[in-house]
Amino acid sequence: MVKMMKSYEYIPFEILNGKKILITGACGLIGSAIIDFLMENNVNCNLYALARNRCKIEKRFSSYLGCSNFHILEGDVNEPLTQDLVFNYIINAASNANPNAYATDPVGTMWTNFNGTKNLLDYGREHGLERFLYVSSGEVYGDGDVDRWNEKDSGYVDCMTLRSCYPTSKRATESLCVAFGHQYGIETVVARPCHTFGPCFTDSDTRAYAQFVRKARKQENIVLKSKGEQYRSWLYVKDCAAGIVAILLKGENGSAYNLADENACVTIKDLAEMIASISGVNVVFDLPSEIEKQGFSVIHKAVFDTAKLQHLGWTPQYKLEEALRETIKA
Protein backbone atom coordinates (compact mmCIF):
# COMPACT_ATOMS: atom_id res chain seq x y z
CA MET A 1 0.00 0.00 0.00
CA VAL A 2 1.42 3.39 -1.05
CA LYS A 3 1.33 6.00 1.68
CA MET A 4 -0.02 9.40 0.71
CA MET A 5 2.01 12.47 1.64
CA LYS A 6 0.44 14.49 4.43
CA SER A 7 -0.27 18.15 3.71
CA TYR A 8 -0.07 20.96 6.26
CA GLU A 9 -0.02 23.94 3.94
CA TYR A 10 -2.85 25.52 5.93
CA ILE A 11 -0.59 25.99 8.96
CA PRO A 12 1.41 29.27 8.92
CA PHE A 13 4.56 27.80 10.48
CA GLU A 14 6.48 30.99 9.62
CA ILE A 15 4.72 32.77 12.51
CA LEU A 16 6.87 30.67 14.84
CA ASN A 17 10.19 31.73 13.33
CA GLY A 18 12.54 32.65 16.16
CA LYS A 19 9.87 32.11 18.82
CA LYS A 20 10.09 30.18 22.10
CA ILE A 21 7.38 27.59 22.78
CA LEU A 22 6.86 25.80 26.09
CA ILE A 23 5.03 22.46 25.86
CA THR A 24 4.01 20.88 29.16
CA GLY A 25 3.05 17.24 29.57
CA ALA A 26 5.89 16.60 27.14
CA CYS A 27 6.02 12.86 27.81
CA GLY A 28 2.29 12.37 27.47
CA LEU A 29 0.48 11.16 24.37
CA ILE A 30 -0.59 14.57 23.05
CA GLY A 31 2.28 16.71 24.35
CA SER A 32 4.93 14.44 22.84
CA ALA A 33 3.07 14.31 19.52
CA ILE A 34 3.03 18.13 19.32
CA ILE A 35 6.80 18.20 19.81
CA ASP A 36 7.28 15.52 17.14
CA PHE A 37 5.02 17.42 14.75
CA LEU A 38 6.93 20.68 15.09
CA MET A 39 10.36 19.03 14.93
CA GLU A 40 9.48 16.82 11.95
CA ASN A 41 8.18 19.86 10.05
CA ASN A 42 11.47 21.68 10.70
CA VAL A 43 9.80 24.65 12.32
CA ASN A 44 12.34 27.40 13.03
CA CYS A 45 11.59 27.90 16.71
CA ASN A 46 12.97 26.93 20.11
CA LEU A 47 10.99 24.14 21.74
CA TYR A 48 11.03 23.66 25.51
CA ALA A 49 9.74 20.27 26.67
CA LEU A 50 8.56 20.27 30.30
CA ALA A 51 7.86 17.07 32.23
CA ARG A 52 8.47 15.75 35.73
CA ASN A 53 11.16 13.21 34.86
CA ARG A 54 14.22 14.30 32.88
CA CYS A 55 15.27 10.73 32.12
CA LYS A 56 11.89 9.99 30.55
CA ILE A 57 12.11 13.14 28.42
CA GLU A 58 15.60 12.20 27.22
CA LYS A 59 14.47 8.66 26.39
CA ARG A 60 11.32 9.78 24.56
CA PHE A 61 13.12 12.47 22.54
CA SER A 62 16.54 10.87 22.14
CA SER A 63 16.65 11.74 18.43
CA TYR A 64 16.36 15.46 19.23
CA LEU A 65 18.98 15.71 21.99
CA GLY A 66 21.61 17.06 19.61
CA CYS A 67 19.30 19.68 18.09
CA SER A 68 20.09 23.25 19.05
CA ASN A 69 16.42 24.23 19.07
CA PHE A 70 15.26 21.46 21.44
CA HIS A 71 15.48 22.08 25.18
CA ILE A 72 14.50 20.00 28.20
CA LEU A 73 12.95 21.43 31.36
CA GLU A 74 12.35 19.19 34.36
CA GLY A 75 9.48 20.32 36.53
CA ASP A 76 5.91 19.92 37.69
CA VAL A 77 3.17 22.33 36.63
CA ASN A 78 1.71 22.00 40.13
CA GLU A 79 4.66 24.12 41.30
CA PRO A 80 5.41 27.64 40.04
CA LEU A 81 8.02 27.66 37.26
CA THR A 82 11.48 28.63 38.45
CA GLN A 83 12.90 29.50 35.03
CA ASP A 84 13.35 33.08 33.89
CA LEU A 85 12.62 32.52 30.21
CA VAL A 86 10.28 34.54 28.03
CA PHE A 87 8.04 32.12 26.15
CA ASN A 88 6.06 33.49 23.23
CA TYR A 89 3.65 30.55 23.38
CA ILE A 90 2.68 28.00 26.01
CA ILE A 91 0.79 24.80 25.17
CA ASN A 92 -0.44 23.15 28.35
CA ALA A 93 -0.93 19.45 27.68
CA ALA A 94 -0.18 18.35 31.26
CA SER A 95 -3.08 16.36 32.65
CA ASN A 96 -3.87 13.07 34.29
CA ALA A 97 -5.12 10.87 31.45
CA ASN A 98 -5.28 7.69 33.51
CA PRO A 99 -8.88 6.66 34.27
CA ASN A 100 -7.80 4.53 37.23
CA ALA A 101 -6.37 7.68 38.83
CA TYR A 102 -9.77 9.35 38.67
CA ALA A 103 -10.76 6.88 41.39
CA THR A 104 -7.45 6.70 43.29
CA ASP A 105 -6.32 10.35 43.05
CA PRO A 106 -9.29 12.56 42.13
CA VAL A 107 -7.89 15.53 44.08
CA GLY A 108 -4.57 15.32 42.24
CA THR A 109 -6.40 15.07 38.92
CA MET A 110 -8.36 18.25 39.62
CA TRP A 111 -5.38 20.10 41.08
CA THR A 112 -3.16 19.47 38.07
CA ASN A 113 -5.83 20.63 35.65
CA PHE A 114 -6.74 23.83 37.48
CA ASN A 115 -3.78 24.88 39.61
CA GLY A 116 -1.21 23.69 37.08
CA THR A 117 -2.83 25.89 34.47
CA LYS A 118 -3.00 28.84 36.86
CA ASN A 119 0.73 28.53 37.56
CA LEU A 120 1.47 28.64 33.83
CA LEU A 121 -0.86 31.57 33.21
CA ASP A 122 0.68 33.48 36.10
CA TYR A 123 4.13 32.86 34.67
CA GLY A 124 3.01 33.96 31.23
CA ARG A 125 1.42 37.12 32.62
CA GLU A 126 4.67 38.04 34.32
CA HIS A 127 6.86 37.23 31.31
CA GLY A 128 5.12 38.78 28.32
CA LEU A 129 3.37 35.68 26.95
CA GLU A 130 1.77 36.18 23.53
CA ARG A 131 -0.71 33.29 23.54
CA PHE A 132 -1.71 30.35 25.76
CA LEU A 133 -3.32 27.15 24.49
CA TYR A 134 -5.05 24.83 26.92
CA VAL A 135 -5.53 21.20 25.93
CA SER A 136 -8.91 20.45 27.45
CA SER A 137 -11.12 17.48 26.58
CA GLY A 138 -14.32 16.59 24.79
CA GLU A 139 -15.46 15.23 28.15
CA VAL A 140 -16.41 18.79 29.14
CA TYR A 141 -19.67 18.26 27.22
CA GLY A 142 -20.87 15.62 29.63
CA ASP A 143 -23.84 13.47 28.66
CA GLY A 144 -26.91 14.44 26.69
CA ASP A 145 -29.21 13.66 23.79
CA VAL A 146 -27.12 15.41 21.14
CA ASP A 147 -26.26 14.10 17.69
CA ARG A 148 -22.92 15.91 17.43
CA TRP A 149 -21.57 18.22 20.13
CA ASN A 150 -20.51 21.66 18.96
CA GLU A 151 -18.53 24.22 20.91
CA LYS A 152 -21.65 25.99 22.25
CA ASP A 153 -23.27 22.84 23.66
CA SER A 154 -23.20 21.72 27.28
CA GLY A 155 -24.50 18.47 28.75
CA TYR A 156 -24.92 16.96 32.19
CA VAL A 157 -22.07 15.96 34.51
CA ASP A 158 -22.93 14.45 37.89
CA CYS A 159 -20.63 16.43 40.17
CA MET A 160 -21.28 14.06 43.08
CA THR A 161 -19.30 11.19 41.53
CA LEU A 162 -15.57 10.55 41.62
CA ARG A 163 -15.47 10.25 37.84
CA SER A 164 -16.58 13.87 37.51
CA CYS A 165 -13.19 15.05 38.82
CA TYR A 166 -11.84 15.06 35.28
CA PRO A 167 -14.57 16.79 33.20
CA THR A 168 -15.55 19.28 35.90
CA SER A 169 -11.97 20.41 36.46
CA LYS A 170 -11.46 20.68 32.71
CA ARG A 171 -14.57 22.86 32.50
CA ALA A 172 -13.38 25.06 35.36
CA THR A 173 -9.94 25.41 33.80
CA GLU A 174 -11.40 26.54 30.50
CA SER A 175 -13.24 29.26 32.42
CA LEU A 176 -9.98 30.18 34.15
CA CYS A 177 -8.36 30.72 30.74
CA VAL A 178 -11.22 32.99 29.70
CA ALA A 179 -10.96 34.90 32.99
CA PHE A 180 -7.20 35.44 32.59
CA GLY A 181 -7.76 36.66 29.07
CA HIS A 182 -10.36 39.17 30.20
CA GLN A 183 -8.59 40.35 33.35
CA TYR A 184 -4.96 40.35 32.24
CA GLY A 185 -5.13 40.61 28.45
CA ILE A 186 -3.49 37.23 27.72
CA GLU A 187 -4.66 35.62 24.48
CA THR A 188 -6.03 32.15 25.23
CA VAL A 189 -7.45 29.38 23.06
CA VAL A 190 -8.79 25.97 24.01
CA ALA A 191 -8.53 22.63 22.20
CA ARG A 192 -11.09 19.94 23.02
CA PRO A 193 -9.76 16.60 21.72
CA CYS A 194 -12.09 13.65 21.47
CA HIS A 195 -10.88 10.14 22.33
CA THR A 196 -7.34 10.38 21.00
CA PHE A 197 -5.05 7.42 20.38
CA GLY A 198 -1.52 6.80 19.17
CA PRO A 199 1.63 4.78 19.73
CA CYS A 200 3.46 6.72 22.44
CA PHE A 201 1.10 6.34 25.38
CA THR A 202 2.61 6.08 28.86
CA ASP A 203 2.96 2.91 30.92
CA SER A 204 0.37 4.25 33.36
CA ASP A 205 -2.26 4.93 30.69
CA THR A 206 -5.30 2.77 31.46
CA ARG A 207 -7.57 4.09 28.73
CA ALA A 208 -9.36 1.37 26.79
CA TYR A 209 -7.44 1.76 23.53
CA ALA A 210 -4.08 1.65 25.35
CA GLN A 211 -5.02 -1.62 27.04
CA PHE A 212 -6.15 -3.04 23.68
CA VAL A 213 -2.90 -2.05 21.95
CA ARG A 214 -0.71 -3.48 24.73
CA LYS A 215 -2.44 -6.83 24.32
CA ALA A 216 -2.21 -6.68 20.52
CA ARG A 217 1.52 -5.97 20.61
CA LYS A 218 2.04 -9.03 22.80
CA GLN A 219 -0.17 -11.12 20.49
CA GLU A 220 -2.58 -11.71 23.37
CA ASN A 221 -6.36 -11.65 23.20
CA ILE A 222 -7.88 -8.22 23.77
CA VAL A 223 -9.89 -7.98 26.98
CA LEU A 224 -13.10 -5.94 26.91
CA LYS A 225 -14.38 -5.12 30.40
CA SER A 226 -17.80 -3.79 29.41
CA LYS A 227 -20.29 -4.38 26.61
CA GLY A 228 -18.37 -1.72 24.70
CA GLU A 229 -21.51 -0.05 23.39
CA GLN A 230 -20.31 3.51 24.04
CA TYR A 231 -20.18 5.36 20.71
CA ARG A 232 -17.16 7.63 20.27
CA SER A 233 -15.40 10.01 17.93
CA TRP A 234 -11.78 8.89 17.64
CA LEU A 235 -8.72 10.79 16.44
CA TYR A 236 -5.14 9.78 15.68
CA VAL A 237 -2.72 11.75 17.83
CA LYS A 238 -0.75 13.00 14.79
CA ASP A 239 -3.91 14.63 13.45
CA CYS A 240 -4.59 15.95 16.94
CA ALA A 241 -1.14 17.58 17.11
CA ALA A 242 -1.62 19.27 13.72
CA GLY A 243 -4.99 20.59 14.84
CA ILE A 244 -3.58 21.99 18.06
CA VAL A 245 -0.85 23.87 16.20
CA ALA A 246 -3.49 25.24 13.81
CA ILE A 247 -5.58 26.43 16.78
CA LEU A 248 -2.51 28.00 18.39
CA LEU A 249 -1.66 30.00 15.28
CA LYS A 250 -5.04 30.62 13.65
CA GLY A 251 -7.68 30.15 16.34
CA GLU A 252 -9.82 33.05 17.47
CA ASN A 253 -8.77 34.51 20.81
CA GLY A 254 -11.01 33.30 23.64
CA SER A 255 -12.46 30.42 21.61
CA ALA A 256 -12.65 26.64 21.95
CA TYR A 257 -12.28 24.12 19.12
CA ASN A 258 -13.34 20.49 18.88
CA LEU A 259 -10.78 17.98 17.62
CA ALA A 260 -12.20 14.78 16.15
CA ASP A 261 -12.32 12.71 12.99
CA GLU A 262 -15.95 12.75 11.88
CA ASN A 263 -15.23 9.67 9.74
CA ALA A 264 -13.87 7.68 12.68
CA CYS A 265 -16.92 7.20 14.88
CA VAL A 266 -17.24 3.66 16.25
CA THR A 267 -18.12 1.92 19.49
CA ILE A 268 -15.43 0.79 21.91
CA LYS A 269 -16.30 -2.81 20.99
CA ASP A 270 -15.86 -2.02 17.28
CA LEU A 271 -12.47 -0.44 18.00
CA ALA A 272 -11.39 -3.52 19.97
CA GLU A 273 -12.44 -5.76 17.09
CA MET A 274 -10.55 -3.63 14.54
CA ILE A 275 -7.37 -3.84 16.62
CA ALA A 276 -7.87 -7.58 17.11
CA SER A 277 -8.39 -8.13 13.38
CA ILE A 278 -5.24 -6.19 12.47
CA SER A 279 -3.23 -8.16 15.05
CA GLY A 280 -4.70 -11.60 14.44
CA VAL A 281 -6.05 -12.04 17.98
CA ASN A 282 -9.53 -12.30 19.50
CA VAL A 283 -11.70 -10.13 21.72
CA VAL A 284 -12.70 -11.70 25.04
CA PHE A 285 -14.81 -10.34 27.88
CA ASP A 286 -13.92 -10.02 31.56
CA LEU A 287 -15.29 -8.27 34.63
CA PRO A 288 -13.68 -4.96 35.64
CA SER A 289 -12.26 -4.32 39.10
CA GLU A 290 -14.01 -1.86 41.42
CA ILE A 291 -11.35 0.78 40.73
CA GLU A 292 -11.69 0.26 36.98
CA LYS A 293 -15.48 0.64 37.21
CA GLN A 294 -15.12 3.93 39.10
CA GLY A 295 -12.88 5.22 36.33
CA PHE A 296 -15.29 4.34 33.52
CA SER A 297 -16.93 7.23 31.71
CA VAL A 298 -20.73 7.23 31.96
CA ILE A 299 -21.07 9.07 28.65
CA HIS A 300 -22.89 6.84 26.16
CA LYS A 301 -22.33 8.89 23.02
CA ALA A 302 -19.49 11.34 22.38
CA VAL A 303 -19.47 12.49 18.76
CA PHE A 304 -18.18 15.95 17.87
CA ASP A 305 -18.83 18.57 15.21
CA THR A 306 -15.52 19.88 13.82
CA ALA A 307 -16.80 22.47 11.35
CA LYS A 308 -15.22 25.28 13.36
CA LEU A 309 -11.75 23.71 13.20
CA GLN A 310 -12.15 22.74 9.56
CA HIS A 311 -12.79 26.43 8.85
CA LEU A 312 -9.13 26.97 9.86
CA GLY A 313 -8.12 24.54 7.09
CA TRP A 314 -7.65 21.43 9.22
CA THR A 315 -8.74 18.00 8.07
CA PRO A 316 -7.61 14.58 9.37
CA GLN A 317 -4.79 13.13 7.29
CA TYR A 318 -5.02 9.54 8.55
CA LYS A 319 -7.72 6.94 8.02
CA LEU A 320 -8.74 5.04 11.14
CA GLU A 321 -7.35 1.66 10.05
CA GLU A 322 -4.07 3.23 8.86
CA ALA A 323 -3.68 5.01 12.20
CA LEU A 324 -4.42 1.86 14.19
CA ARG A 325 -1.83 -0.09 12.20
CA GLU A 326 0.80 2.58 12.90
CA THR A 327 -0.14 2.56 16.59
CA ILE A 328 0.16 -1.20 16.94
CA LYS A 329 3.37 -1.46 14.92
CA ALA A 330 5.27 1.26 16.80
Closest CA to 195 of 149, 252, 133: 149
Q: What is the C-alpha separation between 8 and 245, in angstroms, rounded?
A: 10
Asked if the model's pLDDT at residue 19 lies above 90, the reply is yes
List domains and CATH numbers for the chain: 17-199+234-261+303-317 (3.40.50.720)
Q: What is the C-alpha separation between 18 and 193, in angstroms, rounded?
A: 28
pLDDT band at 4, cuts 50/70/90? low
* Per-residue pLDDT at 2: 47
103-147 confidence digits (pLDDT tens): 999 999 999 999 999 999 999 999 999 999 999 999 999 999 999
184-200 confidence digits (pLDDT tens): 999 999 999 999 999 99
277-320 confidence digits (pLDDT tens): 999 999 999 878 887 777 777 788 999 999 999 999 999 999 99
State the DSSP H helix or E strand holding residue 269, giving kind and residue range, or none if neither: helix 268-279
* Per-residue pLDDT at 32: 98
Using left for φ > 0, alpha for ψ between -120 and 50, and beta otherwise, residue 20 falls in: beta
Q: Give the up-direction half-sphere exposure of residue 301: CA atoms within 13 A in the CB hemisphere.
A: 10
Q: What is the C-alpha separation between 104 and 197, in angstroms, rounded?
A: 23
